[in-house]
Chain A
């Protein structure tokens, strides 16, 4: 048990050192929230002058974890992971703290704007808000607790 406590502490203190990470933040109705995270982010962000570009960044839907197994199952099913196993953000261009790209979820693509800040020379932190309904995702509800139709996606990304 002591080793697990130490692991928890190590995980906490190392949390800021992940190379790349995608966090999807959801708000529950009437109250509460949860996050789905993965550190397995595929693709590269390239810097050229002041401009950042990425051809395609993607994660496997099943690799987004919420910390509760049953919630993971529901979350992945809700995103139709069997038919759309990847969530892709492509054709990304960003400059001066703002950018845009094409987000594909559930087989539906939409142009999405985002803001970002440089955490360091080699790291970007981008944030965007999307509406799941715009990606033809049904209202998420389980035992009378729903998920709001606005989700924040935060991408913590290494820059090449």
Chain B
């Protein structure tokens, strides 16, 4: 196996076996151009609010498993925590699980199958104020140590049971909010596939949250966020990434959003400057196209040379039936120190048979392009189950 293929394997193992629940930005295809309509976190991921639960049951999920006469309002009410509408105005519990059946190197000698419990989280949201202006959210649960960090000092310092999001938010007006705590950094499109080059390259994967302050602003056609962060305070000082990020999106031609993002961050060992542009478009109801193009400059401390990395993501979702989405992703990755570049193609199926359950199957083909050497295509199969209560 050549060096590039080894690196690729490490990258895939590191990030395919990750366990963070992000939001679903392709739901712009249902008219939801902003995460905050359905999520407590204005940039998505984490627990969904009452409205988001109802949307998940009545717009996103299928209804083949329900009696045909069952009212949609009843389906919506059963999307609440353990199927029962809350009697409390202030508290919303949430439990989430993700498991992954992963078969690497399909058709190759040494191909093996693993099942990984990617996530088992419990969350509690507390909201107060006449219009729920005050929000507190805390998530705690099991998350595996990323394989790339296993048997390393950084991995040994991590705990398998840990919090990856906790924050306090205040929204004095519906269109403006300020949040303090441990959160993901707003940058680019927060796609659910944290193994995508658009998440890996700027280091925005499952364990890259940081403590900080986020400002969020939105109006019907514009949305922006600014994050000043000091790294994850649960990590050792020297590896905490400190810096700031900013992102915005603007509606153009009614059903499209274009945006740009900027992020600068550094720790004792690495300085990073990331920039990206992106777009999200609704094609028809249930069908969308996402695109992101980014560049990340990485300057290591010491003698190692500065590296510029480039990535692109093109992803579309086609709703074939209510509850069933056909996905296609094409990704590109290149860095200036390497003659290789990588292209990954991933058709997949995403099925929500009923509220609280998502089944997903993806096949990834990864090809390494090199003018001086050839390497075999890599094929991987991922089957995922995602349940929430």
Contact = CB atoms under 8 A, between A and B. Distances in A.
Interface stretch (A7-15, A39-47, A110-118): A7-15
Contacts of B287: 8, 12
Contact of B50 (A8, A29, A69, A144): A144
A1 B347 CA distance: 14
Nearest to B321: A4
Contacts, number: 83
B59 A70 contact: yes
Interface in A25-50: 27-35
A27 B287 CA distance: 20
B37 A1 contact: no
Interface string B199-223: 0000000000000000000101001
B175 A30 contact: yes
A3 to B, nearest CB: 9
B326 A5 contact: yes
A70 B34 contact: no
B318 A144 contact: no
A67 interface: yes
Most chain A CB inside 10 Å of its own CB: which residue of B223, B283, B285, B287: B285
A26 to B, nearest CB: 9
19 contacts: A4-B320, A12-B284, A28-B37, A30-B34, A30-B36, A31-B37, A31-B220, A32-B31, A34-B31, A67-B286, A68-B59, A69-B58, A70-B72, A70-B75, A142-B51, A142-B54, A143-B49, A143-B54, A144-B50
Interface of A: 1, 4-5, 8, 11-12, 15, 27-35, 66-71, 73, 142-145, 148
Given A8-B287, A12-B287, A67-B30, A145 B59 contact: no
B145 interface: no
- 4 closest A-B pairs by beta carbon, nearest first, are A31-B34, A30-B174, A70-B72, A67-B285
Interface residues of B, number: 35
B132 interface: yes
B361 interface: no
B320 A27 contact: no
User: What secondary structure prevails in chain A residues at the interface with B?
Assistant: mixed
B51 A144 contact: yes
A31 B33 contact: yes
B59 to A, nearest CB: 4
A27 to B, nearest CB: 5
B223 A31 contact: yes
A69 B75 CA distance: 11
A56 to B, nearest CB: 28
A66 B285 CA distance: 9
B73 interface: yes
Contacts of B286: 8, 67
A35 B31 contact: yes
Contacts of B285: 67
B223 A68 contact: no
Contacts of A8: 284, 286-287, 318-320
A73 B223 CA distance: 30
Contacts of A144: 49-51, 132
A67 B31 contact: yes
Contacts of A66: 31
A78 B32 CA distance: 21
A31 B326 contact: no
Interface in B22-59: 30-34, 36-37, 49-51, 54-55, 58-59
